Amino acid sequence: MTTYDYTSDAFPGPDPYAPLRELPAFELTSTDLSSGDKLGPKLVGEAATSPQLAWSGLPEGTKSLAVTLFDPDAPTASGYWHWAAFNIPASVSELPSGSGATPDLGVGATTLVGDSGQRAFYGANPPAGHGPHRYIVAVHAVDVDTLDVPDDASPAALGFNLYFHSLGRAILWGWYENN
């Protein structure tokens, strides 16, 4: 199996977190995704399900969480948002596999419409022959109970708000390529 570094020249897009301020990391694990590995069939294509995610060691002052999945290697000037959910209560420490099919993730959260046009998780599906793409899952520790982001906002607008309200960030990433 081919393995890549997160910022390897094998990927056409930039590191999307490089221009943002550094934040403390916390523990993020998944039974469905190992950082740096090729994505398994469960996370690929239109029938994909969102990965199981569990976190711990949140920064002091965390009042809510957000989860995003971004492909910075998509053939666009702005990447491709596969998933963006926020206002996850800080008391939640895990999302089960498949929770991204429900707009509130089963915990009262808000999921935005991603670039797929769906208000749900959308699996990896890069264009054939475009090379390997990174799929970056980030869990953001947020300093407010409720982010004031309309439910018709874009994931990029959520990201803008997260810039000002994140206390910490944990990342898992995998890659996939359609030959």
Cα–Cα dist 3/138, whole Å: 20
pLDDT for 156-166, tens place per residue?
Answer: 999 999 999 99
- CA separation, residue 107 to residues 10, 27, 61, 88, 91 (Å): 37, 20, 20, 7, 10
Residue in 143, 162, 168, 144 with CA at minimum distance from that of residue 59? 168
CATH H-level superfamily of 27-176: PEBP-like (3.90.280.10)
pLDDT for 77-117, tens place per residue?
Answer: 999 999 999 999 999 999 999 999 999 999 999 999 999 99
Checking if the pLDDT of 41 tops 70, the result is yes
| Tokens 């599906």, residue located | 125
The lowest-confidence range among 2-11, 56-65, 113-122, 135-144 is: 2-11
User: How many CB atoms neighbour CB 17 within 10 A?
Assistant: 17
Query: Where would I find the beta strands (DSSP E) of 3-114?
Result: 27-29, 53-56, 64-71, 80-89, 94-95, 110-111
Can you name the residues that pair with 86 across neighbouring β-strands? Answer: 110
Kindly state the tokens that stand for 61. Answer: 């002052």
Q: Which class for 145: exposed (0-12), middle (13-18), buried (19 or more C-beta within 10 A)?
A: exposed
